[in-house]
A = this chain, B = another copy of it.
Amino acid sequence: MLVSHETRANKKEIININTQTPIIEIAKKANLASQNVSKLSSKTKNYLLQTLCEQIDKNRSEVILSNKLDLDNLASSTKESFRDRLLLDNTRIDNMISSVQDIINLPDPIGQMLDIGVRPNGLEIKKVRSPIGVVGIIYESRPNVTTDASALCIKSGNSVILRGGSEAINTNLLLSKLIQKSLIANSVNPHSVQIISDTSRDLVTELVSTDKYIDLIIPRGSKELLKFLKAHSKIPMIKHLDGNCHVFIDDFADLVKALKISINSKTNRFGVCNAAETLIVSKGIASEFVPKVVNELSKKNVTVRGCDQTKKIVSNIETASEADWYEEYLGPILAIKIVSGINEAIDHINHYGSHHTDAIVSESKKNQNIFTQAVDSSSVIINASTRFADGFEYGLGAEIGISTDKIHARGPVGLEGLTSLRWVVSGDGHIK
């Protein structure tokens, strides 16, 4: 289906959408705009985001209409889960608005001062929390990323270049028009949020090569997209490739909690990065626990692949191969490994895992501490489901992404991850 006349008209009203504009020009403008948005008061930023909430609320029917165009453009063979990720209805628009409202209510990180100390020579050393500059967000499907990412970037004093997927282009253009209106209504440089309507791969390569004007890239999308960006980006990224998450049931586990947490970590949702993929069971409680968990999993139609020792306890399961320990199934399959104790569990997780999220179920404080210290993952969870590894659950408000890299920010990344600390040094004519 072709884009309707109405949407075409909308496109013209959006000042900065022009498929002819080279990336370098978009990036230069974003860079200039970042100097404006970095200096906005908390009050102005919150007014701006409030305006955006009102704009979305006032234009619900237009948003839903644009979204319908995108949905109608999907091939009839499109998977239902993909269609669902793209869909906006009134409930989802409510969530979109309340997510921006949550960001309004978060404290402004910019300008926070940390006193580091006064040096023996009298120099005063401080650090000040500052925006990063220009952030590029590359994402697919979900249109709520357009408003969430814009709101997080503005609140943290950054300008942003959004490159959504082609499948959501009509929805994203309409949403970006509402963002533009909100920027202009609050006298903020309209290039603080720019959306790129050309959705080709070449353009993405160009975007992640413009390191002179863009400071950070945050990709959200398929593993294929992330691998492509990892190979091509000249700009630092906040990203995660894999979510091979583990639940370890310690000898000192409360087996009632262990069962609940194992099942929830695997089955609450299958296709998400914080779902468990391998269950590790300490041998002291294996013969009691494994039959129970396999039974519950089979009720939920989850296929179990076990190590040799697991198969000695429950024979009617598949055999796990070496490859299974590396696997992120993102589906109704769970690998089970029986280990001699906490140390083997830790070694397994650090060797096969993806440093995303790993949980221990144990009533032993000592073992909780050993696990927390030794498991090198961005989130370590004690006696709770891996599914809690999420910016909203951690109180960050909306999250801009999840990082499994080791620098800058690990795990769910919120407002603070869009900032860094600069040094401010005060003297009184000091020379060296």
Q: How far is the CA of A117 from the CA of B396 in the complex (A)?
A: 11
Q: Are A431 and B385 in contact (CB under 8 A)?
A: yes
Q: For the complex, is A350 an interface residue (Cβ under 8 Å from B)?
A: yes
Given contacts A378-B422, A423-B379, A423-B411, contact A384 B35 (CB under 8 A): no
Q: State whether the Cβ of A380 lies closer than 8 Å to any Cβ in chain B.
A: yes
| B420 in contact with A350 (CB, 8 Å) | no
A287 at the interface (CB under 8 A from B): no
Within 8 A of B (CB), among A389-431: 389, 393-395, 405-412, 420-431
> Are B431's CB and A264's CB within 8 A?
yes
- Judge whether A39 is part of the interface by a CB distance below 8 angstroms: yes
**What residues on B are CB-neighbors of A430 within 8 Å?**
261, 383-385, 388
**Does chain B have a CB within 8 A of A260?**
yes
Q: Could you tell me the distance between the alpha carbons of A394 and B256 in the complex, rounded to whole angstroms?
A: 52
Tell me, rounded to whole Å, the shortest Cβ–Cβ distance linking A397 to chain B.
13
B427 touches A389 (CB 8 A): no
A431–B381 contact, CB under 8 A? no
From A264, which residue of chain B is reached at the shortest CB distance?
B431
Number of copies of this chain that the complex holds: 2
Which residues of the other chain, B, contact A123 by a CB distance below 8 angstroms? 384, 388, 393
Check B382 against A427 for contact (C-beta < 8 Å). Answer: yes
A242 within 8 A of B: no
Q: What's the least CB distance linking A136 to chain B, in Å? A: 13
Number of interface residues of A (CB under 8 A): 69
Q: Known interface pairs A383-B426, A385-B432. Does A215 touch B406 (Cβ–Cβ under 8 Å)?
A: yes
A431 near B261: Cβ-Cβ < 8 Å: yes
Contact A420 B407 (CB under 8 A): yes
Residues of B within 8 A of A38 (CB): 373-374, 376
Whether, in the assembled complex, A116 has its beta carbon less than 8 Å from a beta carbon of chain B, the answer is yes
B422 touches A377 (CB 8 A): yes
Nearest CB of B to A129, in Å: 11
A132 contact set on B, CB distance < 8 A: 406-407
Complex Cα distance, B215 from A378, in Å, reads 14
Identify the interface centre among A133, A408, A429: most chain B CB within 10 Å of its CB: A429
The reply on A284 being an interface residue by CB < 8 A is no
Contacts of A350 in B (CB 8 A): 35
Can you name 9 A-B residue pairings with CB atoms under 8 Å?
A119-B394, A254-B429, A257-B428, A261-B429, A380-B425, A381-B425, A382-B425, A384-B426, A408-B420
The 4 closest A-B pairs by CB, nearest first: A384-B427, A257-B429, A264-B431, A384-B430
**What is the interface of chain A, defined by CB distance below 8 A to chain B?**
35, 38-39, 111, 116-117, 119, 123, 125, 128, 130, 132-133, 215-216, 230, 234, 236, 238, 254, 256-257, 260-261, 263-264, 268, 350, 368, 372-374, 376-385, 387-389, 393-395, 405-412, 420-432
